[in-house]
Amino acid sequence: MLRKLPQILCFATLPFASLNLRADDKIDQVLSELQALRQQVATLEARVATLEATKAVSAGALDASAPEVQPRERKNLFDHMRIELQKAEARASGPWTTPANWNGIQNGLTEDEVIEILGEPTDRKFSVRRDTDEIFYYRGDLEGTGEPIEGEIRIYKGKVRRFTLPDFPTES
């Protein structure tokens, strides 16, 4: 029996040895995966650093170009104001600005006759009222005071139905 003891011990420790070999294999596998993950993280950190540097340069370039953009915007604003002033000047001119021309307006005139007497209206709007199809507005700041003067002609079935004369300033 004593002779068989070393054999029994070998057989008894054999399963534990194989478990130990399996554990070593798993540890090696986990270590290799950990190394691969560390390499991947290092690569991603390098990419992020490159992108952040590029973004910082782009932001710096935008900041450097900002003064160039603002004058263009101002120019557009001034151009817009100039155009609007020209439109206002055009709206404040034409035959409708003469009070004597309004004396020729009467009910029953056609749209074309009104335009021939007063010129094109500064604004036209369609009406939802039953007695009016379209409204011709003649507006403008004739004195440059910021207070527009307005006349209105209501058209029904192609003819003047009603009109309101502009409140022209009286000359003193």
- Asked if pLDDT for residue 153 goes beyond 90, the answer is yes
**Average of per-residue pLDDT values in the chain:** 77
pLDDT-derived band of residue 132, with 50, 70 and 90 as boundaries?
A: confident
What values do phi and psi take at 159, rounded to 5? -130, 160
The Cα 12–Cα 17 span in angstroms is 10
- Asked if pLDDT for residue 65 goes beyond 60, the answer is no
Q: How confident is the model over 103-119, as a mean pLDDT? A: 91
Vertex 87: Cα angle to 84 and 91 (nearest 5): 140
- Asked if pLDDT for residue 96 goes beyond 90, the answer is no
Structure tokens of 9? 């011990």
pTM here? 0.47
The Cα 29–Cα 23 span in angstroms is 10
In 3D, which of 96, 84, 108, 83 has the Cα closest to residue 139?
Answer: 96
Q: How confident is the model over 113-118, as a mean pLDDT? A: 90
Q: How confident is the model over 41-66, as a mean pLDDT? A: 74
